[in-house]
C-alpha cells in the first residue's frame, strides 16, 4: 500500500538502507486492523465520564503542549508555553510577555519536543510538567494545578536544546544539552574550524523549587551532537545518560558524513561526582547572559531576571564525572529500565538494539576497561558494558518505553512499527505496525520507576491516508494500543496539534486532586486589580490612560469611556470578579493590534491599545458567559489629539 517502502526510506542513502535491509526480518504485510465492538468499548468513555489518564503531548513546532484524555483521545486543553496565543493573550499581554524574553530579545515561538513530569521516588507525582525549547534553548515549568506555564529558564552556551528536560527521580535536576555543537563562548570563526572550535555542553538545571530554576552547572564536552537523555534511578541514581551522535564531527552533509562511524556514544554522566567537583571548586565560572522568567500567581504577572555567569566543569579537571559507552550507530533515544539497571540505545541506523548494563558499566570503570580517552573522558569497552544486543529487531529503532512487567517497547521509524521484547533475555516477543513512521512512543509512567503499563501511544510522523484529506497539510497521527495482553492491539487513531515528539501520561486522580478551579479574588495582588465595581475608574498619566475595569455577568464597569485622545496608549486592566469555576470573560476592542484577552475568575489581565483615529469604538466580551453575554459590551470615545 502507498508505495510505503519508498516513502519511508526516502531520506536515507541507498547505501545505508541497503545495509539496514540486510540482516532484518522480512517485513510483514501491514494492514489496518478492523474496528470491532470489543475494540470500540475499550476506548469508549461515555458522555459525562472521565478518562483514565491524562496524556501531555509536546506541540513540536507549535511550541505548546496539548492535553488529551486516554483512552478516548479527546483533546481537553492546549497549554501555552513557548508561542504567543491569540486566544488568551498569552505572550501579548504585559503580564505574560516577560515569559518569552531571552538573550536574543522577545522570542514569540519555539519548537518543543519533550514533556517530562516531575517525580517523587522515581514515580510521576503530577506537580509539574517540564518541556524543552529546541531553537532558543530553554526549559519551561508548567504548574499542573493551573495548567499554566509558570517559569522559563534559558540555557546559555547551548544551541538546539534537544536532550531535555529529562528528570532525576527526585526532581532535583532536569537535563539540557547542545544538539548543535557551537563555539563556546560564541565567537566569529570559520565553520570549517569545527573540530578545533566547536564544543558541546551538558547542563543540569535545578528543578525542585518553583520560581528558582537555574543552571546548577554545565559540563564542557567534545563537539559531537547530543540528542536525547534519560536519568538513572534505583541503583543508577546519580547518573544521567545522553546519546552522542556525529562523533565524526561533520559540519556539512551530515546525512552522509555523520553516518560513517560504526559506533557513536552514550555519554554516562555522574552528576553526584559533578556536585563534588563544584563543592571543591573544580570548575570555571564563565560569563554568560541568560534569562530566567517566572510568573507570580498572586500578582498575576511575569518577571524576568538576567543571569550573568555559569559554572562549567571541564571533564579532565573532574575525573570520574563522565564516560562514553560505545553504541551503534548514530543513537537517537536512550532509555533506562524501571529498575535502573538497563540502558537501551536506539541507533537510528543500527541493525540491533544495544542494551547496556549499569552494573557492568560500574565494573568496567573500576577495572579501567577503557578503549581510549577523548579530552579526558574514558571510552569504555563495548563488550565490557554491553548486556546484550536484541537481534534483528526492526529498522530504524528510535525510542523505548517500559510496561513495568519486564518488557520494553521500541519505536522503529523505518519499518514503521513497535517492537516488544524481554529486555533481560533480549528476545523479541511481539511487533505491531504503526501508520506511519513512528517517532516517540509513550506508556503512562513508561520512563519512570513505576509504569502504568496499560496503554501505549504511538506518535507518528506521517499521516497520509488516515484521516479525511485536508489539502497539502495534514495533522499528525497518534495511535493508541492496548498492551495488557501478549499481543499489542491497535485501538484508536486521533489527530494531534503540531508535531508531538514525546509525551507523558499519568492517572487522572493524581492530577485532579490538585487542580484549582478559580483564582481567589481576595488574594489578587495585581497592581491594577479592582475588587469591586465601585473602585473601577479611569486614570490619566501624561499620554498613558489606565482603565481599571471589572467584568462580571454580564457587564463591564466602566462601559462608556470618554476623554481618550489619538496618541494615547490605553491600558485596559480587566479584573474578572467571578468566583465560579469556568466563568472566564473575554475582552476585545475594535482595531487592536494585539490579541484579545481571556480573563479567568479572580484574575487580572491587561490589553494595550493605541487608537489611531478619532471616533467611537466598541469593545465586547468574547466568551459566551451568560444568556446576556451579547449585552456584555461598551464604547470608547477617541477625540483628536
User: Interaction with ligand CUK in 371-410: which residues (CB under 6 A)?
Assistant: 398-399
User: Interaction with ligand CUK in 481-510: which residues (CB under 6 A)?
Assistant: 501-502
Nearer Cβ to ligand CUA (418/598): 598
What is the nearest approach in angstroms of ligand CUK to the Cβ of residue 524? Answer: 39
- 342 contacts ligand CUK (rule: CB under 6 A): no
Nearer Cβ to ligand CUK (162/585): 162
What is the nearest approach in angstroms of ligand CUK to the Cβ of residue 245? Answer: 12
What is the nearest approach in angstroms of ligand CUK to the Cβ of residue 399? Answer: 6
Nearer Cβ to ligand CUA (304/554): 554
CB 140 within 8 Å of CB 133: yes
- Give the SS3 label for residue 190: coil
Q: Total residues at the site for ligand CUK (CB under 6 A)?
A: 11
Site string for ligand CUK, 91-130 (x = CB under 6 A): ----------------------xx----------------
Which residues contact ligand CUA by CB under 6 A?
A: 554, 585, 621, 623-625, 629, 632
What is the nearest approach in angstroms of ligand CUK to the Cβ of residue 333? Answer: 6
- Read out DSSP for 593-628? SS--EEE-TT-EEEEEE---SSEEEEEE--S--STT
Nearer Cβ to ligand CUK (135/284): 135
- 332 contacts ligand CUK (rule: CB under 6 A): yes
Number of CB atoms found within 10 A of residue 563's CB: 12
The residues facing 141 across adjacent strands are: 130, 151
Nearer Cβ to ligand CUA (214/533): 533
What is the nearest approach in angstroms of ligand CUK to the Cβ of residue 413? Answer: 7
Of residues 447, 427, 237, 200, the one with CA closest to residue 324: 200
Residue 78 binds which of ligand CUA, ligand CUK, none (CB < 5-8 A, kind-dependent): none
- 230 contacts ligand CUK (rule: CB under 6 A): no
Cα dist from 606 to 101, 112, 148, 556, 624, whole Å: 18, 27, 17, 14, 20
| Binds ligand CUK (CB under 6 A): choice among 71, 122, 126, 439 | 439
Residue 398 binds which of ligand CUA, ligand CUK, none (CB < 5-8 A, kind-dependent): ligand CUK
Cα dist from 492 to 71, 138, 172, 222, whole Å: 8, 33, 36, 44
What is the nearest approach in angstroms of ligand CUA to the Cβ of residue 97? Answer: 24
Of residues 111, 119, 168, the one with CA closest to residue 140: 111
Give 422's contacts (C-beta < 8 A, 6+ positions apart). Answer: 406, 407, 429
Nearer Cβ to ligand CUK (301/398): 398
CB 519 within 8 Å of CB 601: yes
Residue 240 binds which of ligand CUA, ligand CUK, none (CB < 5-8 A, kind-dependent): none
- 228 contacts ligand CUK (rule: CB under 6 A): yes
CB 51 within 8 Å of CB 72: yes
- Tell me whether residue 389 is exposed, middle or buried, using C-beta atoms within 10 angstroms of its C-beta: 0 to 12, 13 to 18, 19 or more: middle
CB 637 within 8 Å of CB 619: no
Residue 114 binds which of ligand CUA, ligand CUK, none (CB < 5-8 A, kind-dependent): ligand CUK
CA 67/CA 504 separation, integer angstroms: 10
**Residues binding ligand CUK (CB under 6 A):** 113-114, 162, 228, 332, 398-399, 439-440, 501-502
Amino acid at each position: 500500500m502507498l508505495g510505503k517502502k519508498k516513502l519511508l526510506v526516502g531520506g536515507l542513502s541507498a547505501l545505508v538502507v541497503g545495509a539496514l535491509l540486510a540482516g532484518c526480518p522480512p517485513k510483514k504485510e501491514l494492514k489496518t486492523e478492523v474496528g470491532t465492538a470489543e475494540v470500540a468499548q475499550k476506548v469508549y468513555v461515555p458522555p459525562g465520564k472521565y478518562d483514565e489518564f491524562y496524556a501531555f503531548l509536546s506541540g513540536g513546532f507549535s511550541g505548546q503542549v496539548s492535553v488529551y484524555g486516554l483512552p478516548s483521545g479527546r483533546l481537553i486543553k492546549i497549554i501555552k508555553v513557548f508561542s504567543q496565543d491569540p486566544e488568551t493573550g498569552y505572550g501579548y499581554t504585559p503580564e505574560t510577555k516577560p515569559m518569552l524574553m531571552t538573550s536574543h530579545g522577545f522570542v514569540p515561538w519555539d519548537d518543543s519536543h519533550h514533556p517530562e513530569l516531575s517525580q517523587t521516588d522515581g514515580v510521576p507525582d503530577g506537580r509539574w510538567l517540564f518541556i524543552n525549547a529546541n531553537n532558543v534553548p530553554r526549559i519551561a515549568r508548567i504548574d499542573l494545578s493551573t495548567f499554566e506555564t509558570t517559569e522559563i529558564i534559558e540555557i546559555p552556551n547551548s544551541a538546539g536544546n534537544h536532550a531535555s528536560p529529562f528528570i532525576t527521580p527526585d526532581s532535583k535536576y532536569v537535563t539540557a544539552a547542545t544538539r548543535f555543537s557551537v563555539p563556546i563562548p560564541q565567537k566569529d570563526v570559520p565553520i570549517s574550524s569545527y573540530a578545533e572550535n566547536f564544543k558541546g555542553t551538558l547542563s543540569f538545571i535545578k528543578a525542585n523549587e518553583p520560581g528558582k530554576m537555574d543552571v546548577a552547572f554545565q559540563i564542557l564536552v567534545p563537539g559531537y551532537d547530543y540528542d536525547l537523555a534519560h536519568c538513572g534511578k534505583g541503583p543508577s541514581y546519580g547518573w544521567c545518560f545522553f546519546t552522542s551522535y556525529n562523533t565524526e564531527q561533520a559540519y556539512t552533509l551530515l546525512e552522509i558524513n555523520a553516518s560513517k562511524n560504526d559506533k557513536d556514544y552514550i555519554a554516562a554522566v555522574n552528576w553526584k561526582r559533578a556536585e563534588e567537583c563544584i563543592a571543591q571548586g573544580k570548575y570555571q565560572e564563565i560569563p554568560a547572559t541568560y534569562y530566567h522568567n517566572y510568573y507570580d500567581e498572586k500578582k498575576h504577572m511575569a518577571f524576568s531576571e538576567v543571569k550573568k555567569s555559569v559554572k562549567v566543569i571541564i571533564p579532565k579537571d573532574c575525573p570520574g564525572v563522565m564516560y562514553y559507552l560505545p553504541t551503534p550507530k548514530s543513537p537517537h533515544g536512550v532509555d533506562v529500565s524501571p529498575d535502573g539497571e538497563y540502558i537501551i540505545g536506539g541507533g537510528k541506523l543500527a541493525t540491533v538494539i544495544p542494551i547496556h548494563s549499569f552494573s557492568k558499566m560500574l565494573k568496567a570503570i573500576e577495572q579501567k576497561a577503557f578503549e581510549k580517552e577523548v579530552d579526558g573522558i574514558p571510552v569504555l569497552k563495548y563488550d565490557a558494558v554491553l548486556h546484550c544486543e536484541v537481534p534483528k529487531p526492526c529498522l530504524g529503532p528510535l525510542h523505548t518505553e517500559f510496561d513495568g512487567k519486564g518488557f520494553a517497547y521500541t519505536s522503529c521509524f523505518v519499518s514503521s512499527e513497535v517492537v516488544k521484547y524481554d529486555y533481560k533475555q533480549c528476545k523479541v516477543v511481539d511487533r505491531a505496525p504503526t501508520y506511519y513512521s513512528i517517532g516517540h512512543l509513550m506508556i503512562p509512567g513508561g520512563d519512570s520507576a513505576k509504569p502504568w503499563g496499560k496503554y501505549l501511544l504511538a506518535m507518528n510522523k506521517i499521516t497520509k491516508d488516515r484521516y479525511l484529506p485536508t489539502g497539502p497539510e495534514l495533522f499528525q497521527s497518534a495511535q493508541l494500543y492496548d498492551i495488557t495482553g501478549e499481543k499489542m492491539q491497535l485501538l484508536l487513531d486521533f489527530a494531534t496539534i503540531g508535531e508531538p515528539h514525546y509525551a507523558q501520561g499519568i492517572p487522572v486522580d493524581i492530577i485532579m486532586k490538585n487542580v484549582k478551579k478559580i483564582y481567589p479574588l481576595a488574594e489578587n495582588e495585581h497592581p491594577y486589580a479592582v475588587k469591586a465595581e465601585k473602585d473601577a475608574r479611569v486614570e490619566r498619566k501624561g499620554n498613558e490612560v489606565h482603565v481599571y475595569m471589572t467584568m462580571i455577568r454580564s457587564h463591564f464597569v466602566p462601559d462608556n469611556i470618554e476623554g481618550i485622545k489619538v496618541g494615547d496608549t490605553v491600558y485596559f486592566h480587566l479584573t474578572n470578579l467571578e468566583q465560579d469555576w469556568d466563568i472566564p470573560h473575554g475582552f476585545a476592542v475594535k482595531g487592536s493590534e494585539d490579541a484579545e484577552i481571556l480573563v479567568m475568575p479572580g484574575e487580572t489581565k491587561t490589553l494595550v491599545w493605541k487608537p489611531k483615529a478619532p471616533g467611537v469604538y466598541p469593545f465586547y466580551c468574547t466568551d459566551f458567559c451568560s444568556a446576556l453575554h451579547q449585552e456584555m459590551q461598551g464604547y470608547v470615545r477617541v477625540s483628536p489629539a
